[in-house]
Amino acid sequence: MCKEDGVLNELSNQEGNSTLKQEEPEPLQIKQEPEPLPMKQENQLISHDQKLYSCKICDESFNQSSLLTTHMRTHMGKKPFTCSTCGRSYDHKAGLIYHMKVHSDEKPFSCTSCEKRYSSKFCLTRHMNSHTGQKPFSCETCGKAFRSNSDLLLHMNIHTGEKPFSCVTCGKNFTTKSNLVVHMRTHTCQKPFSCETCGKRFTTKSNLVVHMRSHTGQKPFSCETCSKSFRCQISLTLHMRTHTSDWPFSCGTCGKGFHEKRFLNDHKRTHTGEKPFSCGTCGKRFHQKAILTSHLRTHTDEKPFSCETCGKRFSQKGNLTSHMWTHTSEKSFSCETCGKRFRQKRHLTSHMWTHRSEKPFSCGFCGKRFHQKRYLNDHKGTHTGEKPFSCETCGKSFRWQSSLTHHLRTHTGKKPFLCGTCGKGFSYRSRLTDHMRTHTG
């Protein structure tokens, strides 16, 4: 048995025995074994910084036996103090008391600059750095700086790839214990954080905070380019890519680009035919969970998205967005080159390619050149006759996903483009545009 195992077993046996005699206790991990001291004398030793109690594993010394006992738990992984609200555990009672303030909403520490309040002095100190801009902790690998040492330690896992915290249920690994704790709630269905307004519950406090903004209308994250505001930082980050044309994830089959990897994974299934999401009512299968969610509303007739202008309700957010344009003629996105204006950013982005002279992608059959790889792949289909997008209902195949989407409306009867004047629906936006002229003359 190694030295460390012996020490841990010895301490574990001592802590597990609650009936140990008080007289003549066996010395606890002490290199020097002094005579037991009266409390007064022990306090005198503390004031003189004498440390008599040493850990045999790491040689760290303490001036009280209780501090050594607490320290030994860090080697054993033992955390006997558990929060009754969320289940988080701590190796000493002070840590639990400190943590309980999160649930009690007690926030005794306030910022002198903005009066924001915090449950701990540590959180306040880290917040204060947001006013001063101070980031004293820097990564030796890439030079990135952080406001707190804990943030730096979390960042370091990116370089090392270390994920020391493992889920005992599914084996998934995490870089931080807090991420593991949040993940464990997916197995227990525990959602300790509830919204006081609507009662909806969440696994993390941060998700609750973001949700609360849907009631207050608060959108604290603003785009410096177009001033559009968002409820959370990640939404702003994704939005910023619409200005930079940053598409970090591209499909190897058709070249289409995506802001997030999850959207790329969803898209890939349109090529592989994989449909892992099935409807429990009719058995129909889908390649995206979001499409399944929308489909389920056809059984329940649920329409959770309502227009604030006219009150009309929709089963899908995309249909509501399209409908909203019928109430406004505003075209807030303008081309800096020719001045042409557009209602939606994506239309401007597509238009911008018409001004670019560079066409780096050329067709091997006819030599025609294209701005983007996905346009080249679409073009190649005219030579090969390939039609990778097929209808599940009738089997008809199409060269483009958009053509399949339009075709599916012949089966579903869906008419997402609605006239704001008379309410008539159309399968295609172009037909709605033609119809609108009957009202304007």
Higher pLDDT, 204 or 308: 204
Q: What is the pLDDT of residue 34?
A: 45
* CATH class in words for 361-439: alpha beta
CA torsion 338→339→342→346, rounded to 10°?
50
Q: Could you write out the DSSP letters of every residue in 62-102?
A: ESSHHHHHHHHHHHHT---EE-TTT--EESSHHHHHHHHHH
Residue 190 confidence (pLDDT): 78
Look up residue 406 and give its two tokens: 């339009």
Q: How many residues does the chain have?
A: 441
Specify the pTM: 0.31
- Residue 171 — very low, low, confident or very high, per pLDDT cuts 50/70/90? confident
Q: What is the pLDDT of residue 35?
A: 47
- For residue 60, the number of C-alpha atoms closer than 13 Å in the C-beta half-sphere is 11
Task: Give, to the nearest 10 degrees, the angle between helix 3-16 and helix 65-76.
Answer: 120
* Sequence-ordered alpha helix ranges (H) in 330-415: 345-352, 373-384, 401-412
Average pLDDT over residues 152-166: 77
The whole-number pLDDT of residue 121 equals 78
pLDDT band at 76 (very low <50, low <70, confident <90, very high): low
Does the pLDDT at position 347 exceed 70? yes
Query: 3-state DSSP call for residue 390?
Result: strand
19 pLDDT tier (thresholds 50, 70, 90): very low
- Quick: pLDDT tens for 249-294: 788 887 777 777 778 888 888 888 788 888 888 888 888 887 888 7
**What's the rounded Cα separation, in Å, for the pair 371 and 224?**
28
- Helix crossing, 345-352 with 233-244: angle to 10°? 30
Q: What is the DSSP code (8-state) at residue 245?
A: T
Mean pLDDT of the chain: 74
Q: Any idea which residue has 């129909």 for tokens?
A: 284
For 208-225, what is the mean pLDDT?
A: 83
Binned at pLDDT 50, 70 and 90, residue 245 comes out as low
Phi, psi torsion values for 370, nearest 5 degrees: -140, 155
Give the pLDDT band (50/70/90) at residue 75.
low
Mean pLDDT of 178-182: 80
User: Is the pLDDT at 159 greater than 80, yes or no?
Assistant: no
- The pLDDT-based confidence of 328 (bands split at 50, 70, 90) is low
Domain boundaries, the chain: 361-439
Out of 27-36, 241-250, 368-377, least confident range: 27-36
